[in-house]
Every structure is written in structure tokens, then in C-alpha cells.
Chains A and B, each alone.
Chain A
């Protein structure tokens, strides 16, 4: 199992550690509910250094990215980030990712930890563009500083005007006295904030600086448990749960990052699927009767016929309600439709709701 540069720090803080995607990661410190609330109301720090980063460099970089990703990367400009996915050839998704345009010929792709090798092989397979690819995952640390007070908490560490940064933009600059830190106004919580990328050797110094600067704002370390409840309240997909090799981006509600203005892997089939309409859709639902939906539970109609499957579920700490994501037959995907989740052989009533669950 791999460690991040901060694993020992988490252990020293008393975090509960779990293996996740081959890494020894903190799942919680003080408790999921209180950590969740910290991020919604003030500011928290996640070590997400397990994420993968690839640098793509060369004249053909944009061409390769356009070929393998579903979103239109030609819309990017220097300092702009885009959410996208890698469609496979069978109608599913290899991974979802962020695409950073560093300059016209240099891009950074940020991928899920569990898919680093798979994505590398996949993108390499299409690299007939002579692009120089570098996997910098093992030497790159990533801290997500999330919450409404994130900009204030970090402002003393940089000359970049953090509160002026637009969502999904980034800058490279000096941060906590260290050069070449990438500050990205992105995140996976819906609470606002930044993701900070830097070389492992600076991990201890940057972690310490963030906690000192953030202390007056009540900054706290946050584990992967709260990361999951936060993203779920926003209806954000988690690869391996809500999207995978068998789910189409259109079924997953990712039509907004599937642009048919260009050719990409499997684009013709996906365009045909769009035309015909999908047979199943990823929906959000909240429980009406008591029960908590979990990954792989069956979704049924009122008489017990299976109409789909739960892909993620939890008790929402902000809403104090049980919520979930799942695929259902398109006939049942409309808002307010009553569905039933099979929990320990009982049909428990739920209803389809609009994203996000948490509206802030």
C-alpha cells in the first residue's frame, strides 16, 4: 500500500486510516458529520494526493485530448480548467477527469487514483500525435481546501487574489513561500474553495502553513468519509460507483460535457444514443420512509419489479435525510416519481428529486 507525503501527519492527528485505491488514506478525524459541517460552514482540508496527474506536452497535445475526452478542450484558455470524461469504445466511461490548460502546448490531466494505470494505458494507446506524456502522480501532492471561508483562510499565504478567482480557473505562483504551486479554484464538495498542487517535498511545509493561516477561521482536517457525503449532496458522480466502464455519459447526466462538435472515441455511437434517447438515467432520490440506501441495493416499482439499482447512498448530514443516486429505467426518471428501495427485503418508499440535493 502506498502512502501520501502526509500519511504520518494524519496518523499523528489521530485519523482513522483506511486503504483506498491502493493508498493508506484518512477516512475521518473527528467524525464524518462534524467534518462535513466544517466544510459547509467554514473551511476544511483534504489530503487527496492519491489522485493522479499527467502532463501532456507538444504540438499535438490538444489533438490527443480532443480525441480521448468528451468535452471540447478547444474552449480552454491558459489558466482554465474543464471537467470531462474518457469514453471507452463500448459506450461506457474509462474515467472522469479534469483538464488543465497550462499553455497552448501543455496540459495537465487529473484522474482518479484507482484508474491511474488504466487511464495512462488508454491515453497512450491513442497517442499517435507525438505528445510527450509524463505521469507526475507519485511526486505530486494535492490538498483540497474547501468551504466558504477557504479564500479568507488562505489569502495570507499568497499574493494571488483568491476571492477574485473564477470557478474552474487556476494560477501557478508562490504559495506559502514556495514557488510553482498550482492554485486551482475547483473542488468536489460544492462548498467552494481551492485545490493546491505541489511537489511532495513541500508537503509538510504547506500543510503546516495552511493550518496556521487557517486557524483563525477554524480550519480542520477532513477525511474521505466527509468528502463522499459532501459530493453526494451535490449529486457529483464518483467513478466506480455512479459511473464506470458500463455507464454511458449520457445515461449519467453528463451530456453537458459530451460535445458532438468534434470527433472523439465512440462519439458516433454516443451521438446515436443521444438521438434515440437513453433507456436508463442516473437520478437522485430521497427517502420518504425510514431507511438508508446503499450501493447495489435494488430500485423497484410499487409492486416490487426491479427498475434499477442504487449506485451511492448515505444519510445526508446537511439535510438530515437519506439520499441516493441510482440508475432507473427512463420511465421512472421524472422528478417526484415514487420509487422503492429494497432494503433488507423490504420495499422502502423514496422519490426522485432534482440535483443538487443540497442547495446551500
Chain B
């Protein structure tokens, strides 16, 4: 399984990629494999400020539904609209075209507290 080293990870299987004061958030390769075929990403938090570890949306696979948790506090500024018509991008390219939301960081210092790729990989036993 693939866990890019430039990303930070949560124990709930989200990743975050920081670009200046903004960041992209998605779910990990491990998460997409566990969920199986993803069929719908339901994000109802665009424009809202969401606290670290709160739910910012939901991912629906054929068999299961799972909440999405914010890795760090911030305001959701954009949803990846490609996922509306192609939710399978999360399976195909979880760290690239399968990103879910773009956020404005509330406290950039929180990012440092998240797991590194190595730490996350050992958590999921990969």
C-alpha cells in the first residue's frame, strides 16, 4: 500500500497535504481498500468552519457508509466536484484526483501533531 511521505495522516484514515495556509484532505489508500467501491461522497460542510476531529462529510461505498473526520480545524472552502460524477476516483487515485475537500487552516500548528507516513503505515500494519 502507498502512503506518500509528504502527507500527514490521522488514525481515522484521512490524509492532509498542506499548501501555504490551505490544505487538501482525502482518505488513505488503506481506507479506500477497506471501503471497497466508493459510490458517493456527501460533503455538506462547504463554507463552514469545522473543528479538528469533527465530521465534514460522509463516504458511501456499495456496502458501507463511513463518516469523514477533519484532521485539523479549518474552514472548508472547496469540494472536489469531480467526485460528484466520478466517486470512483477515490479508489483509483486516493491522494491525487480523489482528494475530497480543500480547507483554510485555522491553526497550522495542529498539522505537526498528526502522524507521519511511517507512523500511519505501522498503525494499519502495512
A and B pair up: yes
Chain A interface residues (CB < 8 Å from chain B): 16, 27-28, 31-33, 225, 228-229, 290-292, 294, 314-315, 317, 322, 344
- Asked whether A344 and B63 contact (CB < 8 A) given A32-B37, A291-B42, the answer is no
Within 8 Å by CB of B62, from A229, A290, A291, A344, lies: A229
Q: Do residues B36 and A28 form an inter-chain contact, with CB atoms below 8 A?
A: yes
Q: B38-90: which residues lie under 8 A (CB-CB) from chain A?
A: 39-40, 42, 58, 60, 62-63, 65
Option from A16, A27, A228, A292 in Cβ contact (under 8 Å) with B39: A292
Query: Across the interface, do B39 and A31 meet the contact criterion of CB distance under 8 Å?
Result: no
Q: Is the CB of B36 within 8 A of A32?
A: yes
In the bound complex, residues from chain A placing their C-beta under 8 Å from that of B40 are: 290-292, 315, 322
Are A32 and B58 neighbours in the complex by a CB distance under 8 Å?
A: no
Quick check: A344 and B58 within 8 Å, CB to CB?
A: yes
Give the CA-CA distance A33 to B63 in the complex, in Å.
11
CB distance from A290 to the nearest CB of B (A): 7
B42 with A314: CB separation less than 8 A = no
**Residues in A whose Cβ lies below 8 Å from that of B36:** 16, 28, 31-32, 225
Q: B residues within 8 A CB of A32?
A: 36-37, 62-63
Report B64 CB to chain A, min CB distance, Å. Answer: 9
Residue of A nearest to B58 (CB): A344
Interchain CB contact under 8 A, B65 and A292: yes
- Whether the pair B65, A294 counts as a contact (CB closer than 8 A) is yes
CB distance from A174 to the nearest CB of B (A): 38
CA of A292 to CA of B37 in the docked complex: distance in angstroms? 14
* Nearest B-chain residue to A294, judged by Cβ: B65
A344 vs B59: C-alpha distance when bound (angstroms)? 12
- CB pair A33–B42 under 8 Å, yes or no, is no
A317 touches B62 (CB 8 A): yes
Q: Give the most central of B42, B58, B63, B65: most A CB within 10 Å.
A: B63
Residue of A nearest to B91 (CB): A31
> How close is B41's CB to chain A, nearest CB, in angstroms?
10
Contact in complex: B60, A315 (CB < 8 Å): yes
- Asked whether B42 lies within 8 Å of A315 as measured between CB atoms, the reply is no
Known: A33-B62, A314-B62, A315-B62. A290 touches B42 (CB 8 A): yes
Least distance between B106 CB and chain A CB atoms (Å): 24
Please give me the 10 A-B residue pairs with the lowest Cβ-Cβ distance, nearest first. A315-B39, A32-B62, A33-B37, A292-B60, A32-B37, A31-B37, A225-B63, A315-B62, A32-B36, A292-B40
Name the B residues within 8 Å of A27 (CB-CB).
63
12 inter-chain pairs at a CB distance below 8 angstroms, sorted by A residue, are: A16-B36, A27-B63, A225-B36, A228-B63, A292-B39, A292-B65, A294-B65, A315-B40, A315-B60, A315-B62, A317-B62, A344-B42
Give the distance to chain A from B125, nearest Cβ to Cβ, in Å: 15
A33 to B38 CA separation, bound complex (whole angstroms):
10
- Name which residue of chain B comes closest to A320, CB basis: B39
**Shortest Cβ distance from A32 into B: residue:** B62
Task: Please name 4 further chain A to chain B contacts, defined as beta carbons within 8 Å, in addition to the given A317-B62, A322-B40, sorted by A numbering.
Answer: A32-B36, A32-B63, A33-B37, A344-B58
Question: What chain B residues lie within 8 Å of A344 (beta carbons)?
Answer: 42, 58
